Structure 1
Amino acid sequence: MPADPVSKPRTKPAEERRDELMIAAERLFLEKGLEQTTIEEITTGAGVAKGTFYLHFASKADVLQALRARFVQSVLDGIVAAIEGRGQEDWHGKLAAWSTACATGYLDAAGLHHLAFVAAPPATKEGLSRNILIDHLNELLAAGAGENAWSVDDPGFTAVFLFNALHGVVNQPGIGETPAARAQLLRAIEAHFLRSLGLPSGMD
């Protein structure tokens, strides 16, 4: 039988290469800081040629913006999964799940959030008044009001108010560092979300 032809190495999909660059950049940014990290270090960490970087990103700032977007999407994915675990008519549970999943997402990636939004903040603060997390909470509040689960005059305003309250709490230095402290924090956030809609909190 003829020998098998030598297999040629397969080129990784562009999305996989981009993800590897982002993973390497995130690790280096957290270890060394944005300014101290070089593009060559990022490409070495990702195991690609330096020129490959520019096929996916224009600069380190471009990578940071992609990390911001991925962070927020990851938090939203966790929220959606948590809400899907609740019954169709369990609006109380959905709101509680939203607050807990959102807070958990921030706490689990506190280092990345601080890097991407505090140490090197975006050019504008629009994200605190409009982002996919606020949009999702707005939709949840409006849907619950439509089903008479709660009364809310302005779901959009309330979503911004609640998101920023949660955001401020979870970004306090040293917050929720032990399992017991985190559990207590999550219960308190959930209780405040529920009370704001006139729902029993379980802590009353």
Structure 2
Amino acid sequence: MVPPMPTDPVAKPRTKPAEERRDELMRSAERLFLEKGLEQTTIEEITAGAGVAKGTFYLQFSSKADILQALRARFVQGVLDGIVAAVEGRKGQDWRGKLAAWSTACASGYLDAAGLHHLAFVAEPPATREGLSRNILIDHLSELLAAGASGDAWSVDDPGFTAVFLFNALHGVVNQPVDETPAGRAELLRKIEAHFLRTLGLASGID
């Protein structure tokens, strides 16, 4: 008689953490949505692409619309993370540099993920347009404008209003067809930076 195999009391579970499963589902959904569109993609295809059972999807999301909303939130958070890193890379009182860094990092974040942005906010727009007047990017810019005003870098009566104005100007520009060559992108970023600086009464360095 063959003796039973000994069990390992410290063996690690073979299942992945829920957060990792969620990330795999989101990456699969993003790829499929970009390839096929939201309506043409099935939940079965999403789970197959993530290598999980269909039931796992419903442990994380209630529908395709729900996972699309999660992709929207991750997109905006990713743009903010890039902005924060760029702004914090400038010296403490370099307000002009911080504002320029904010505009470039925000525009770059949108341009780098143009396909996902178009899908999540244009082809399949959110139920309301509140995100154009209130979101974490506008909040961060408003805080930067207020801090720069306190540091006498510029004068701004209403940082919140100005942040909405600048964000929507940038958003409108990057949401248009652009020259995707390196030179074309660099020129676009220079123009955006110049308009941010001029709005605050700062020299842009561009005639």
Q: Same fold per TM (> 0.5)?
A: yes
Q: Secondary structure at the match of 1:24?
A: helix
Shift of residue 202, structure 1, vs aligned partner: 1.1
Count of residues in Structure 1 that have an aligned counterpart in Structure 2: 201
Are 1:25 and 2:29 counterparts? yes
Amino acid at match of 2:189: L
Q: Secondary structure at the match of 1:123?
A: coil
Report the counterpart of residue 188 of structure 2 in structure 1: 185
Are 1:46 and 2:50 counterparts? yes
1:13 & 1:178 partners in 2: Cα distance?
A: 41
166, 188, 196: which one aligns with 2:199 = 196
1:133 & 1:140 partners in 2: Cα distance?
A: 11
Report the counterpart of residue 12 of structure 1 in structure 2: 16
Report the counterpart of residue 70 of structure 1 in structure 2: 74
Report the counterpart of residue 36 of structure 1 in structure 2: 40
1:24 & 1:8 partners in 2: Cα distance?
A: 26
Shift of residue 11, structure 1, vs aligned partner: 1.6
1:130 & 1:4 partners in 2: Cα distance?
A: 59
Please provide the CA RMSD for this pair. 1.2
Report the counterpart of residue 134 of structure 2 in structure 1: 130
Larger Rg over CA atoms: 2
2:42 & 2:53 partners in 1: Cα distance?
A: 13
Are 1:102 and 2:106 counterparts? yes
Shift of residue 176, structure 1, vs aligned partner: 3.4
Shift of residue 102, structure 1, vs aligned partner: 0.1
Point out where structure 2 has 5 or more consecutive residues left out of the alignment. none
Report the counterpart of residue 165 of structure 1 in structure 2: 169
59, 63, 85: which one aligns with 2:63 = 59
1:60 & 1:202 partners in 2: Cα distance?
A: 46
2:183 & 2:73 partners in 1: Cα distance?
A: 30
Point out where structure 1 has 5 or more consecutive residues left out of the alignment. none
1:43 & 1:9 partners in 2: Cα distance?
A: 21
Q: Secondary structure at the match of 1:87?
A: coil
Q: 1:8 to 1:83 in 2, by over 3 A?
A: closer
Please identify runs of 4+ aligned residues in structure 1 that moved more than 6 A: none
